[in-house]
Structure 1
Amino acid sequence: MPDARLLKAPMTDALILDEAAQQRGLSSPPDASASSGFRPAMPPEAPLAMPVQDLGRWDPSARRVPSRPELRPWAARAFVFGGAVALTAYGTWQMYEVISVSGGATALQYVLLGLFTLTFSWIALAFTASILGFLALLRNRRTAAVPTTLSGRTAVVMPVYNEATARTFAAVQAMREEVEATGLGGHFDWFVLSDTTQPDAWIAEERAFLSLREELGPGARLYYRHRPKNHHRKAGNIGDFVTRWGAAYDHMLVLDADSLLSGTCITGLTAAMEADPDAGIVQSLPLIINRNTLFARVQQFAARIYGPVIATGLTIWSGRDGNYWGHNAIIRTRAFAEACGLPDLEGRPPFGGHVLSHDFVEAALIRRAGWGVTMLPLLAGSYEESPPTLIDLSVRDRRWAQGNLQHARVIGAAGLALPSRQHFATGIAGYLASPLWLAQLVIGIALVLQTAWVRPEYFSAEFGLTPVWPRFDPVRALQLFGLTMGILLAPKFLGLLLALVDGPTRKGSGGAIRLVLSFLIEILLSALIAPIAMLIQSGSVFRILAGQDTGWNPQRRDDGSIPLSDIVRRHRWHTVLGLLTGGAAFAIATSLFLWMSPTILGLVLAIPLSWASGQLAWGLALRRRGLLGTPEERDPPPVALRAAALAARNAMLGLDEANALIALHAEPRLAHDHAAMLPQAAGRPRGTIDADRTLAQAKVIEAETVAEARAWLKPKECMALLHDRALLDRLTRLRAS
């Protein structure tokens, strides 16, 4: 057991460790921060005020006046929204004709009509926006010119949270090298902002940072900061940087841990920001690269072929009222500080607490303050990665669902531009669409069941000689189904058409025949996966509405498959539901079974589909045959090749494999530099006990070897030790074994 003197109240922590050290013939712990020969991990602080915004009140006079008149795309908005309204009205009328074939409709049929109208309006809006994007891209697919000069300073910030260090720092180094090659590297500083909560990952980040900074030399302009508490998660991470160092930079280019931007893209975004004095955020369109599993390759192909059509249409009708996706975008630092201090929402999660999907809210607030939010969908060189499997996507999607539904608390905030509210509404509708579709299926089954088995005993509200039967017009129903599918799939067909007429895209995707085959494979797999995703999203929405918080789990970014047992556990009820629904539909009516067969088939095959989605071999087999290919896969961007080579080198160095305690014990210089990077600890209030720190102290005093300390310390206790210079010194004095 630990020495009983550890519990004596008058002793300070340092004296306790000093006394224990003297018992073993050791000296007192030194103050690492006072040691010489260590370059600070961060530049001198340059504080910038970031006041918390009031969502309930807004003074219009506080809105800045643009330096030049703003031209709003009224014609584009009239086309997109007017066209969507007209299509929805026509679809609703056709649906009414389907259900009122007998001269009237029942209450249940009116419910079905309402659900259909909501879901149809969602796809109609996407359709009209895609038409706009298609026409624009058909006329012009030119990219912006490469800048030769810049004037301001930009901080490139990469927030990380328990990520694979080898890949993270490889990406930073590759992007930095590309920017340096443009001759404009002196305008950029590079920051890795860590919110990591795992001890091994934290020390791995520091090892990678120190090694890379030493490799780059005195002019590295590479910095690293670890937050002891990841308050408000990514938004808090960025906010901490802005309030402490933001005044030193005109702009910040915000990345994700899987972001990869070419040098010309980074300088192009910066030049676009400098050329527009009214711009607050300039967003790029990230394309997915480096994906090899079957599921990820489907996503990669879809994003490359269909994404530009959708994004361009969104850009045109949004104008300067655009949106922000949280990464691969450049932000005017002072504008962000003045306008984007996020308040905590009243109540508890999932609808209260800190804002989860902060990016939409930050775009709305910076627009409220009078700054523009724009997108450059034709700027090449912006990349990201995607989840490798359906289950990995569902984990991320659960968090996004909560964030978007939480926007129901923000959509009515004072002073927001109408398009900003539309962005919120679109995000909310995107997640409500799944339970609405599910409800539509359930109501449809109930109506068919009522028609087949229940004799009506009611008459219309007006006098009549015949009852109102819940009947359908099969011919109109088939026509309406065709119209719905056409509108739903139109953005994909438009993207395919653009790819076929664009020579480099067509050749880069394997030629016209392979491109069309890839299109058909994507359509088939997406159709089969859609009902599974519908149930997953519906379950997420129901749990959120029931008050369940999602938390914040790190995203898995490698191509490793998920164990079959986990897949069966996650999808067994989907399969059971598919079998029960199929059996019931067939028993009720053959026509109902045929109508629901795509949904039934997807659910019945949920387990094998999910398993296949994560199979690297299946994805690579399609790649060898040139299917689901993209131009970036056929001719990889230099920055991606360089990042892959650096990641392989870093992996060989074992950055992600070393145990934190063993690494600090074995490398005195690493232990010294780690201690020097720690912030000055706040004094412990009298009468309070940090349980994790106290247990870590007791265990490290009792341990005689670092192996014992490693075995005894739990993860939170290990983190407490890594934050304490005195405990670190005690650790380094233990025997190895």
Structure 2
Amino acid sequence: MQSEFDINSTEPTLVGGAAMPLERPSPMEPQSLRTLSDGMPRKSVIANGVKSDGLRRLLVVGSAFIMSVMAIYEMVSVFNVGGVTPLEYIVLVLFAVNFCWIALAFSGGIAGFIMLLKKPAPDTAESIKLHTRTAILMPTYNEAPDRIFAAVEVMSMALAASGEGHAFDWFILSDTTDPDIALAEEQAFLILRHKVSKDARVYYRRRRKNDARKAGNVADFCKRWGARYDHLLVLDADSLMETHTIVSLAQRMQADPDAGLIQTIPYLVNGNTLMARLQQFAARIYGPVIGTGLSWWAHKEGNFWGHNAIIRTQAFMSSAGLPHLAGKPPFGGHIMSHDFVEAALIRRAGWSVVIAADLPGSYEECPPSIVDLAVRDRRWCQGNLQHTRILFSKGLHWVSRLHLLTGIMAYLSSPFWLMLILSGLMLALQAHFIRPEYFTDQFSLFPTWPVMDSDRALRLFYITMGILFGPKILGVILLLKNSSMTKPLGGRIKAMCSVIVEVILSALIAPIMMLIHCGAVMSILAGRDSGWSPQRRDDGSLPWLTLIFRHRWHMLIGALLGYAAVLDSLTLLSWMSPALIGLWLAVPLSAMTGSERFGVWVKSVGILATPEEVSAPQLSVDSQARRAEYIHAIAEPWTLYRLLQDTELMALHLAVIDKKPHRLAGSAVESLEAITRVKVQEAQCQHNIASLFTRQELAYLLGNPLLLKQLQKLPEQSESEGLVSFC
């Protein structure tokens, strides 16, 4: 074998040692939701190390409660003028639920706005020298290898250049089930190893069986290698993180022995479609208000969003093992939205969970279209509704329960808003078409008129809209106040143009997403599982027929609601038009916002620009450049036939694949394994061997060294009666 790897070489070698370090097995037991383990919660090392400031909760949650009570009282007063009817009671209940939901976000936004006006104090932990070890994990599932490995190369080399690389190891943890992508990952790993082996330690493992999805992927790493590391820094397939951010997270974790988890607030980057840039702009301008407020009032009972966070390995392995929920999906089985639950379990065990809102340099990407957003939200919706079975688990902190409830309401709020709209429409149609009962059974000299305090109702509507859009207004105020931020964006006038475009597009898209979430909730309640599909990251365009099919119900519901409004009056139609126009235009709106070509044009004009887009982080620029090189290097991917023909490539492949067997000795043989083994036994030759297997069988075969070695022994061709025939 060669002594080093050449990208253009047809005979690469695995430099830098084994694909994974030596295992150090350690238990990570599933936690009970009904009882607490012995010794929980632990005693803090530092006095009040996990105690939060109660005044912060009183100010934020208390003010949200007061606002909600006042708004509900106003709504009761609107209806009480003529007595509350059953339909009005329904409207009242729906209004109360929705208002409480937005009031908490508003009061948290006020807190975030005030905190952002202050100059943050420097964190003293960032001056200490690291003596702990951190494993940086990047789980991947059928993602483009060029994206994953280019990002790891750039981040690891930047970290090594800082002089702190000794404290970190990098792991690409693959759950890929597509055999072509799996082989491309191995090629990319060899390139990565060659580039960084002298400066950074990078490893790769593809699980043969991806139980429990991403949570199971990380848990498998913990059980086999977690004991080697003090901390786990979890990234996502589209994550990027600056060296300063990585080091600061490790320093903060090392300085606080009671810290269990520290979550950053990622900025969205690299969006080219209009939909992606819309999300980027909103998250960058309004997101800090919400995120900083949440960080301030949640304090030591923060949350986890599944990536771009550092976790203390001891806390995670001892207290965050996820149980298997009884029953079948969507409510049973593996916990899908594992992050909220893991944060709640870590806090339950006596560790703090903190959101580091003051720490920049954390990035991720977002779905490129409405359809891709719907696919992702369908999975998230199922995971969050699954939290209804965890909400009342024993020992959870009430703020952790509130985080779980917030996640649930993120999707249930859509059906509540839809029911509120329909109930209000029914009230209007009732007043228009149903004759009022002027005289009741009780004796009265005067008729009973169905009346409503319209002035009070209009005032309450304006208050509700102010609460709903309050965080956005506060974000705009901070934007206009910060000249150093608006100047790169083209000045305050251009920044305000972007705000107006964002508000209009968000208003058009909101009713579509409301119906998408309603459909997701109904699908889950009907017992349908979301599955696990890889995400598209770049272009979100789809054929028009596909878009018409995807949005057919949205357009139909919009048309029916518009017709119902016209039956009452054109005035009602004009009031409902902001919610209906987006539904009527769902198909062209989806096509326009998902088009990369149109998004790039909007980008060239400078609308919806963010500071990270105008002056892209060097990390992102370097990563994009390296992606192009990886794409070129793996343009001719390995195949099973090539592996069987090339003993050196096969040796490399066998060195890279996971050493853990697909199943334990003595356990039941699964159908996939049995069918694949039978096909291997019946194979006559190597030529066109891949055509004998399904893609799922091929993925299993590529992870089984015994079967691969058996196939290697087959002749390239089979001969019968002196003639060459291909198998």
Give the C-alpha shift of residue 725 in structure 1.
2.4
Alignment of structure 1 residues 516-531 onto 2, 5 Å: 516-531=496-511
The residue aligned with 1:543 is: 523
Establish whether residue 357 from structure 1 lines up as the match of residue 329 from structure 2.
Answer: no
Aligned 8 A contact 2:269 2:363 in 1:
yes
Structure 2 regions of 5+ residues with no counterpart? Answer: 1-12, 718-725
Q: Is the 8 A contact 2:153 2:196 kept in 1?
A: no
- Pair 44,637 (structure 1): closer, same or farther in 2 beyond 3 Å: same
Alignment of 1:120-269 (within 5 A): 120-141=99-120, 144=123, 147=127, 149-217=129-197, 220-269=200-249
Q: Shift of residue 697 of structure 1?
A: 4.8
Q: Report the counterpart of residue 401 of structure 1 in structure 2.
A: 381
1:410-425 alignment, distance < 5 Å:
410-425=390-405
Please give the alpha-carbon distance, in whole angstroms, between the structure 2 residues aligned to 1:691 and 1:58. 39
1:695, distance to aligned residue in structure 2 (A): 4.5
Aligned with 1:447 (options 424, 427, 433):
427
Cα distance in structure 1, aligned partners of 2:424 and 2:554: 19
The SS at the match of 1:508 is coil
Taking only the aligned residue pairs, the percentage that are identical comes to 46
Q: Secondary structure at the match of 2:487?
A: helix
Per-residue CA deviation, residues 347-377 of structure 1 (Å, 9 max, x unaligned), is: 2111111111111111011101110000111
**Whole-Å separation in 2 of the counterparts to 1:212 and 1:117:** 55
Letter in 2 for 1:347: G
| DSSP 3-state at the match of 2:214 | helix
Q: CA separation in 1, counterparts of 2:143 and 2:321? A: 26
The reply to whether residue 44 of structure 1 matches residue 22 of structure 2 is: yes
Consecutive unaligned residues of structure 1, counting only runs of 5 or more, are 1-34
> 2:579, 2:213 → 1: CA distance?
37
The alignment partner of 2:245 has SS state of: helix
Match of 2:477?
A: 497
Task: Give the Cα–Cα distance (whole angstroms) in 1 for the partners of residues 641 and 468 of structure 2.
Answer: 56
Letter in 2 for 1:104: G
- Per the alignment, residue 613 of structure 2 pairs with 633
- The residue that corresponds to 1:56 in the other structure is 34
Please say if residues 679 and 692 of structure 2, whose CA atoms lie closer than 8 Å, have aligned partners that are also in contact: no
Number of residue-to-residue matches in the alignment: 700
The structure 1 residue matched to 2:97, chosen from 106, 118, 121, is 118
Report the alpha carbon displacement of residue 683 of structure 1 after superposing the two structures with TM: 7.0
Q: Distance in 2 between matches of 1:603 and 1:322?
A: 36
Alpha carbons 1:80, 1:129 under 8 Å: kept: yes
Deviation for aligned residue 1:510: 2.6
**Alpha-carbon distance change, 458 to 341 in structure 1, aligned in 2, over 3 angstroms:** farther
Q: What is the SS of the residue equivalent to 2:528?
A: coil
Q: Deviations over 1:566-625 (max 9, x none)?
A: 111100111111112112211222222122111111110111111111011222222112
Distance 1:338 1:44 in 2: 21
| Post-superposition offset of 1:141 | 4.6
Partner deviation per Cα, 1:270-295 (whole Å, 9 max, x = no partner): 11111111100001110000001000
> Which one of the candidate residues 645, 650, 668 is aligned to 1:671?
650
Is the 8 Å Cα contact of residues 156 and 200 (structure 2) preserved in structure 1? no
Counterpart of 1:105 in structure 2 is 84
Among residues 626, 640, 646, which one is paired with 1:661 in the alignment?
Answer: 640
The whole-number CA distance in structure 2 between the counterparts of 1:627 and 1:36 is 47
2:57 matched to 1:69? Answer: no
Structure 2 equivalent of residue 274 of structure 1 = 254
Q: From the superposition, tell whether residues 734 and 527 of structure 1 become closer, same or farther in structure 2 (CA, over 3 Å).
A: farther
Aligned equivalent of 2:6:
none
**Structure 1 residue matching 2:700: 3-state secondary structure:** helix
Query: C-alpha deviations, 1:198-224, integer Å up to 9, x for none?
Result: 111111111111221123235531111
In the alignment, structure 1 residue 86 sits paired with structure 2 residue 94: no
Equivalent residue letter for 2:679: A
Instruction: Tell me, yes or no, if the aligned pair for 1:692 and 1:716 is still in contact at 8 Å.
Output: no
- Please give the alpha-carbon distance, in whole angstroms, between the structure 2 residues aligned to 1:276 and 1:481: 47
Backbone CA RMSD of aligned residues: 2.3
Q: What is the CA distance between 1:63 and its match in structure 2?
A: 1.2
Distance 1:688 1:394 in 2: 37
2:306 matched to which residue of 1? Answer: 326
SS of the aligned residue for 2:392 comes to coil
Give the match for residue 7 of structure 2: none
Asked if 2 retains the 8 angstrom alpha-carbon contact of 1:105 and 1:470, the reply is no
CA distance in 2: counterparts of 1:402 and 1:352, whole angstroms: 10
CA apart distance, 1:456: 3.1
State the alpha-carbon separation in 2 of the partners of residues 37 and 503 from structure 1.
Answer: 50
The 3-state SS of whatever aligns with 1:114 is helix
In structure 1, what is the equivalent of residue 675 of structure 2?
A: 694
Deviating more after overlay: 540-549 vs 470-479: 470-479
Counterpart position of 1:315: 295
Are the aligned partners of 1:143 and 1:380 in contact in 2 as well (CA < 8 Å)?
A: no
CA distance in structure 1 between the partners assigned to 2:44 and 2:441 by the alignment? 59
**Residues in 2 aligned to 1:374 and 1:680: alpha-carbon distance in whole angstroms:** 35
The CA deviation at 1:156 is 0.3
Contact 2:14–2:652 under 8 Å retained in 1: no
Once the two structures are superposed, residues 285-340 of structure 1 have per-residue CA deviations (whole angstroms, 9 ceiling, x without a partner) of 10000001000000000111111110110011101011011100000001111101
Compared with structure 1, are the counterparts of its residues 482 and 196 closer, same or farther at alpha carbon in structure 2 (3 Å cutoff)? same
* CA–CA separation in structure 2 for the residues paired with 1:408 and 1:189: 37
User: Residues 78 and 695 from structure 1, CA distance in 2 versus in 1: closer, same or farther, beyond 3 angstroms?
Assistant: closer
- Rounded to whole Å, the distance in 2 between the matches of 1:94 and 1:274 is 51
User: Matches of 1:686 and 1:660 in 2, distance apart?
Assistant: 31
1:479 aligns with 2:459: yes
Distance 2:243 2:90 in 1: 54
The counterpart of 2:266, out of the listed 261, 286, 295, is 286
Structure 1 contact 287–303 (Cα < 8 Å) conserved: yes
Contact 1:147/1:267 (8 A) holds in 2: no
Scaled by the length of structure 1, the TM-score of the pair is 0.91
What one-letter code is carried by the residue in structure 1 that aligns with 2:319? A
CA 1:392–1:405: 2 relative to 1, 3 Å? same
Cα gap change, 1:686/1:253 in structure 2, threshold over 3 Å: closer, same or farther?
A: closer
**Are residues 692 and 53 of structure 1, via their aligned partners in 2, closer, same or farther at CA, if it must alter by over 3 Å?**
closer
Task: Quote the Cα distance in structure 2 between the aligned partners of 1:457 and 1:331.
Answer: 65
Give the alignment partner of residue 719 of structure 1, picking from 699, 708, 714: 699
Aligned counterpart for 1:302 among listed residues 275, 282, 285? 282
Question: Aligned AA for 1:245?
Answer: W
Q: Is the 8 A contact 1:265 1:380 kept in 2?
A: yes
Deviates more, 1:369-378 or 1:492-501: 492-501
1:599 equivalent in structure 2: 579
Name the counterpart of 1:375. 355
Deviations 1:123-170 (A, max 9, x none): 111100000000010012566575462110000011111111000000
3-state SS in 2 of match to 1:113 = helix
Structure 2-normalised TM-score? 0.92
Match in the other structure for 2:493 = 513
Secondary structure at the counterpart of residue 42 of structure 1? coil
Q: Which amino acid aligns with 1:107?
A: P
The match for 1:366 among 346, 361, 367 is: 346
The secondary structure found in structure 1 opposite 2:222 is helix
1:433/1:467 Cα in 2 relative to 1: closer, same or farther (>3 Å)? Answer: farther
